[in-house]
A and B are shown apart, each in its own frame.
Chain A
Amino acid sequence: MASIPNPLDTSQETLNQKQGFSGHENREDSTKYVFLLPAVVWILVFTIFPLLYAVYNSFFSFRYGKINQFIGLGNYGRLFTDANLHGALWITIVFVAVTVSIEMLLGLGLALIFNREIYGKNVWRAIMTLPLFATPVAMGYLGITLFYETNGPVNALVSALGGIPPPWLSNPTWAPIAVMIIDIWQWTPFVFLVALAGLQGLPEDVFEAARVDGSSGFQLFRHITLPLMAPILWLILLLRLVEAFKVFDIPSSLTLGGPGRATEVYSLFTYRTALRFFDHGYAATQGFLLLVIVSIIISLLFGRIRDLYEVSR
């Protein structure tokens, strides 16, 4: 790792000599690496090294957690034929599509509603941030009591509203919905907070001008608020999609992936491949497939939010 600063150092020195920097400035050049290098080395050691190790493992079959034999791309081939993996991927895609779209709509709607002068605004906003750092595992665990089928609070409400209480956690159709509800509870505030911050940063004079022109509330939203908010909304969408694809904690504690495999999301499936079946090589290839999916999402959406980062830099 110590080899990293050297090529940079020399290039920096030559650059400085060309530009006629003083010797004093040259001394500073080594100081700047004192600041940057600890973090760079740290990340190299703790992410690049394990990633390379995962690549290496992915070319081997494992037996009882020990390398068995080199199988080349065999593990990657299994990605295409493993019906259980496809099932987990499909469950995750449905989960992502449903939760992220509801979170976006609810969060933006709430932000529009809260974006005005109301009494005790800071207190309301603080309450809305509470779910963000509520331990997801603990929320899943609490969900067992919230969705308790006989007399749990959710079913008590359903009954009171005249509905038939659904078998939330024991039924393969309802269990994923329960997981989604907890996720929506937890992450709608994220969309809300960021969208609200965006709304409050919009220039007021544009709205004044449009109102003078006689635009209605919906026209204002459609033709002014929405286009101005677009980069921030794309950013929220990107961050939510990426996070949602990695979902693990809530289904692990609320439903343990069940009933059957109904809530066995992608990361949970990979975790079990790795640490229940000790098929380390295959688990590594599954991890890379998830990385590819996340990278595709980022490359598709990042162009739309680049402005946001350029402005803030």
Chain B
Amino acid sequence: MAHRQTNVAGRIVYIIVVIVALFWVAFPFYWAFINSIKKPAETFRPTWIPLVQFAPTLEHWTSELAIPETQHALLNSTMIAVGAATLSTILGTLAAYALARFRFNRPNNGFFTTWFLSQRIMPPVLFVIPFFLIMRQVNLLDTVWGLILLNATFTLPLPVIILSQMFRELPIELEEAARVDGASRIQAFTQVALPLVAPGLVAAWILCLAFSWNEFLFALSLTSKSAIPMPVIIAGAEHTRGVQFHYVGVRVLLTMLPPTIMALLAQRYIVRGLTLGAVKG
């Protein structure tokens, strides 16, 4: 829809709106970044351009990364996110293939799809106590495993919806040809269908990774020491240390850059994932 833009004033207003919108979105990231490389004495000076207005330093990054708790939390976050995303992508892809290629009766495919999707709508706070008590019973409290299991559960709808759509878009003739050549159903799935949906597979995995990395409520309620991930470290930080802008900057970026960068790689599938498959971006 190329609008005919003949009005010069309108064009200027339009450019200003775009710039303001981009500035509004990007500012917090930039703010965190310059604080993370400013010397403490510079914190409250209105200087914005490193090298030109102030001499940048990496000392906050190196000292933050040298803290054992931070290293441990980064490792925990990585393990939780990778573990949960992998588990949920495997389970979700299998279910997606089943829903796309087979017919189920009583309950039917539509029921299963709705049921999978409804997991994203449940208020997580409802599950905090049951999970807390169950995890305590089975000795998974304050373990990375407990959080992997939970995050895999609540991200499961993403691969189901993204991949069932992709499987439906594949021409079924390819798999049928493989079957004629003697491949089993499972071989047709692993050797023909799966490689063809590889981009969707990676995207679903990445989105699950980002959601699991960012998850806070369960991480807060089910960890106390050894399994604490980055979001929980950050939430408790201002009490122990006061507000030191440079550390805020480092910690915020350490926490939110990994999921943000990962999500950029899966950009084509973000809209699809976030609207539970209703809108294809």
Q: Point out residues on A near B: beta carbons under 8 Å.
A: 7-8, 11-12, 15, 28, 31-36, 38-40, 42-43, 46-47, 49-51, 53-54, 57, 110, 113-118, 124-142, 144-146, 148, 150-151, 153, 156, 185, 189-190, 193-194, 197-202, 204, 207, 217, 232, 235-236, 239, 242, 245-246, 248-249, 252-253, 266-267, 270-271, 274-275, 280, 283-284, 286-288, 290-291, 294, 298, 305, 308-309, 312-313
Contact (Cβ within 8 A) B221 A136: no
Contacts of A252 in B (CB 8 A): 216, 220, 235
Complex A-B: 13 CB contacts under 8 Å: A39-B156, A42-B153, A125-B267, A135-B255, A135-B259, A137-B216, A137-B231, A185-B24, A267-B217, A274-B128, A280-B133, A287-B126, A291-B126
B76 to A: closest C-beta gap in Å = 14
Residue of B nearest to A284 (CB): B129
B106 to A: closest C-beta gap in Å = 6
A94 to B: closest C-beta gap in Å = 18
Contacts of B125 in A (CB 8 A): 246, 248, 266-267, 270-271, 274, 286-287, 290
Count of chain B residues with a beta carbon within 8 Å of a chain A beta carbon: 98
Contact (Cβ within 8 A) A31 B185: yes
Contacts of A115 in B (CB 8 A): 1
A254 to B: closest C-beta gap in Å = 10
- Give the segment of B49-57, B59-67, B92-100, B196-204 that binds chain A: B92-100
Residue of B nearest to A148 (CB): B243
A271 to B: closest C-beta gap in Å = 6
Complex Cα distance A286/B123, Å? 11
**The 10 A-B residue pairs with the shortest CB-CB distance in the complex, in nearest-first order:** A287-B126, A50-B130, A35-B98, A39-B95, A36-B98, A32-B102, A133-B263, A46-B153, A138-B255, A135-B256
Contact (Cβ within 8 A) B14 A253: no
Contact (Cβ within 8 A) A54 B22: no
Complex Cα distance A153/B35, Å? 12
Contacts of A312 in B (CB 8 A): 165, 277-278, 280
Q: Point out residues on B near A: beta carbons under 8 Å.
A: 1-3, 5, 14, 17-18, 21-22, 24-29, 31-32, 35, 44, 46, 91-92, 94-95, 97-99, 101-102, 104-106, 110, 112, 115-116, 119, 121-134, 149-150, 152-153, 156, 160, 165, 185-186, 189, 210, 213-214, 216-217, 220-221, 230-231, 234-235, 237-238, 243, 245, 248-249, 251-252, 255-256, 259-260, 262-264, 267, 270-271, 274-281
Contact (Cβ within 8 A) A194 B279: yes
- Name the one of A127, A266, A298 contacting B22, with C-beta atoms under 8 angstroms: A127
Complex Cα distance A179/B214, Å? 18
Complex Cα distance A51/B243, Å? 39
Complex Cα distance A287/B245, Å? 36
